A and B are shown apart, each in its own frame.
Chain A
Amino acid sequence: MAFFFEVLIGGLMAGVMYSLVALGFVLIFKASGVFNFAQGAMVLFAGLFFVGFSEMGVPTWLSLLLTVAVMVVLAGAIERLVLRHLVNQEGIILFMATIGVSFFLDGFGQTIWGSNVKQLDVGIPTDPIFLMDGDILIQSFDLWAALVAGTLLASLVVFQKTRTGRALRAVADDHQAAQSVGIPLNVIWIIVWAIAGLVALVAGVMWGSKLGVQPAIVGLALKALPVLILGGFTSIPGAIIGGLIIGAGEKLAEVYIGPFVGGGIENWFAYVLALGFLLIRPQGLFGEKLIERV
């Protein structure tokens, strides 16, 4: 039983990491209806810049600040070079465009900083913690990750209540209507992408501290997609809970089902779970159901 809980907790914590990526997706999807495939590449991109600055001897706080600046500039560039020209296009076109953005960022970050695995240490403790008389082992790093995710979630919820946050939600509901009451669409989009960039930075730092900053992060971050299917594309709490379910589910499946089928099911479990979910409840756990009209 203790072993079960250990696996469960380990899975939940891994899920938190997926949630961090998924949050960025949800933010952008809610505010612009764009399904941002590049969120994973943005995580790597932010991580690469952060670790790159640090390795040049820049103090951590300054690297962080510089990377924030980079992500804001990136948001501006994406708005100006990509989104602006694709307003009113179908969702599928925008989605494919973000696949292009994803490849570009992936290549760009590595051209500048190289593709070897870079260790990242921002001082998050990694010693193990034992619970229940040492029966259950968890990593203190994972607790920190959960704490960071919680803080991020809380600040996003608070942000939603601010003036800018309200404008964002208006834009999400109806682009044209929002414009007609004087909300500047372009500025809003830059803000949203910048915030998603910051979320990516947080995710990049956390993933980087855990695994090292490396290109494989992009592939792992792809698991945020099934997370979103479970949680619903428009729900911030959904992103968190979806992440937890996927994280715990795939670890438990690997441990308890894996041995019977030769292992390695972690790689696809999340996707197949999402596939099953799509057949039963396409709008996700917390998503809004769309009514089609003619």
Chain B
Amino acid sequence: MSSVTEKKIGDVLLKVENISLSFGGVKALTDISFEIREHEVLAIIGPNGAGKSSMLNCINGFYHPQQGTITYRGEKRKQMRPHQAAKQGIARTFQNIALFKGMSTLDNIMTGRLLKMKAGLFSSAFYKGPAEREQIEHREFCERIIDFLEIQAIRKVPVGRLPYGLQKRVELARALAAEPTLLLLDEPMAGMNLEEKQDMCRFILDVNDEFGTTICLIEHDMGVVMDISDRVVVLDYGRKIGDGVPAEVKNNQAVIDAYLGVQH
């Protein structure tokens, strides 16, 4: 793995306190609290239906928890829409790929960069001048991401035609285009073969190293989780049952019970 130097984990970036979320009568999350620190790679693990994706959905404003608070960069958040979260520097990828299927790889990534672009309707309609300059300037940035993730060859291909592994990579590229402070990855390696997983791990660690992006990921592959994460939060049936460095969590009895089952 690429990271050799000791990482500097900073202050608390995002703090989740006593979050509870329910749909009708079904409780998805119950009284969850944890922290995400700057520059760290935090993994959320847990059996299926533990509420991991719901947790990410709360963080980026897609679900609104009934109770609890989320503090981001020291500011307590009010209820917000996902696009507001995006503006604050929170980007994410999805468990089931959510790319814009009719658009090319490059257009998908450029769309991810829209928040940084200013040209409005009129200058865009005229195109020549400021709008074109802006397009080119941001194209350069997107090309850097394309180089970084090694997807040069599929720049102009509509993403609907790409194989699964590459689509996952394009989705990561789109999230990176926004230069996020906090990157949420929902099962970035699901359904990949070993080689693809290794590539993806490398990309995640490189992003963390080179851009200093804080990463919060959901993953089922324990090998991967133990290897790349600085800290692990374990959920089960919507409750937090473990939180700590990988080695600690690995030996936590509650976690072992949740994964292996326990006789009552």
Contacts and interface: CB of A to CB of B under 8 A. Distances in A.
A56 interface: no
A77 B1 CA distance: 60
Interface string A277-294: 000000000000001001
B57 A294 contact: yes
Contacts of B57: 294
Nearest to B186: A294
A294 B23 contact: no
Contacts of B94: 294
Contacts, number: 8
B62 interface: yes
Contacts of B95: 294
B262 interface: no
Interface in A227-273: none
A291 B98 CA distance: 17
Contacts of B98: 294
Question: How many residues of A sit at the interface, in one of the four size bands?
Answer: under 10
Interface string B93-123: 0111010000000000000000000000000
Interface string B191-208: 000000000000000000
A123 B93 CA distance: 65
B23 A291 contact: yes
A190 to B, nearest CB: 31
A192 B53 CA distance: 38
A294 B53 CA distance: 9
A268 to B, nearest CB: 31
A88 to B, nearest CB: 13
A291 B23 CA distance: 10
A291 B53 CA distance: 15
B82 to A, nearest CB: 9
A268 B198 CA distance: 61
A61 B196 CA distance: 68
Contacts of A291: 23
B58 to A, nearest CB: 12
A282 to B, nearest CB: 18
A124 B135 CA distance: 70
B186 to A, nearest CB: 8
Nearest to B98: A294
A74 B96 CA distance: 39
Contacts of B53: 294
Interface string B24-61: 00000000000000000000000000000100010000
B54 to A, nearest CB: 10
Contacts of B96: 294
A291 B63 CA distance: 11
Contacts of A294: 53, 57, 62, 94-96, 98
A294 B94 CA distance: 7
Given A294-B53, A294-B95, A294-B96, 5 more contacts: A291-B23, A294-B57, A294-B62, A294-B94, A294-B98
Interface of A: 291, 294
8 contacts: A291-B23, A294-B53, A294-B57, A294-B62, A294-B94, A294-B95, A294-B96, A294-B98
